[in-house]
Amino acid sequence: MLKAVLFDLDNTLVDFMRMKEACSEAAIHSMIEAGLPLDEKKATKKLFKMYKTVGIENQTIFESFLKTVMGEIDYKILAAGIAAYRRVKAGQLVPYPHVRETLIKLKERGLKLGIVSDAPRLQAWLRLAEMNLVEFFDVVIALEDTGQLKPSQMPFKQAIEKLGLNPKELLFVGDNPGRDIKGAKQSGMHTALAKYGQLMKGTNKADHELKSVKDLLKAVDYHR
């Protein structure tokens, strides 16, 4: 019998890439207005190329970006970029449609809920707080908790242990077949692929495919 549902965070509960693109484009625009000697298209392309190298969660990306394109950090330009990023982020970091109502219904079914994310701990908690979702989750596993990225089984197993459940009593929901679905299946859990947020393709097939977050309720009831 299913007793808990675990979620990936980015592109599963929150449309992270839409937020990242909007914030980064706003930052580039403001940096150019402050004196960055590049056009917006080239600058944005270079920034996202750097994200692929250093990681989408890198917290000093704008400093590295300015060093790369200008040879130094111009703090007037840096401040303009960071301020614009933060302004846009406040309006963009929202959950997918039906997330809150689905979490409420899962709680009403008596299920425990958790997060297993590759995001740094502070960033994971900030996203949950900014979306006003903190109170729903019994456990949150972030990068620092194991030091391992999915599909390593370590983050999944730590969540299982903290909940005190058997793996077969959990359903994991994620958008990345090669990380979320693979790691969860290898850890012995049931799986659901968040098709609505999927960016990466993969051969690891989930037990369920969700076109919307609210489709999760049918998947849960299947295992009840």
pLDDT, residue 45, reads 95
pLDDT, residue 59, reads 87
pLDDT, residue 204, reads 86
pLDDT, residue 56, reads 86
> What pTM did the predictor assign?
0.87
How confident is the prediction along the chain (224 residues), in pLDDT tens digits per residue? 999 999 999 999 999 988 999 999 999 999 999 999 999 999 999 999 999 898 888 889 999 999 999 999 999 999 999 999 999 987 888 899 999 999 999 999 999 999 999 999 999 999 999 999 999 999 999 999 999 999 999 999 999 999 999 999 999 999 999 999 999 999 999 999 999 999 888 888 999 999 999 999 999 999 87
Q: Domains along the chain?
A: 4-15+95-222 (3.40.50.1000), 17-92 (1.10.150.520)
Contact (Cβ atoms closer than 8 angstroms) between residue 115 and residue 140? yes
- As a dihedral over the C-alpha atoms of residue 62, residue 201, residue 219, residue 96, rounded to 10 degrees, the angle is 30
Nearest in space to 153 (alpha carbons), one of 164, 137, 139, 141: 141
Contact (Cβ atoms closer than 8 angstroms) between residue 71 and residue 104? no
Distances (CA, A) of 3 to 114, 143, 166: 11, 24, 9
pLDDT, residue 224, reads 79
pLDDT, residue 202, reads 84
pLDDT, residue 199, reads 85
Contact (Cβ atoms closer than 8 angstroms) between residue 115 and residue 128? yes
pLDDT, residue 104, reads 98
pLDDT, residue 209, reads 97
Contact (Cβ atoms closer than 8 angstroms) between residue 92 and residue 18? yes
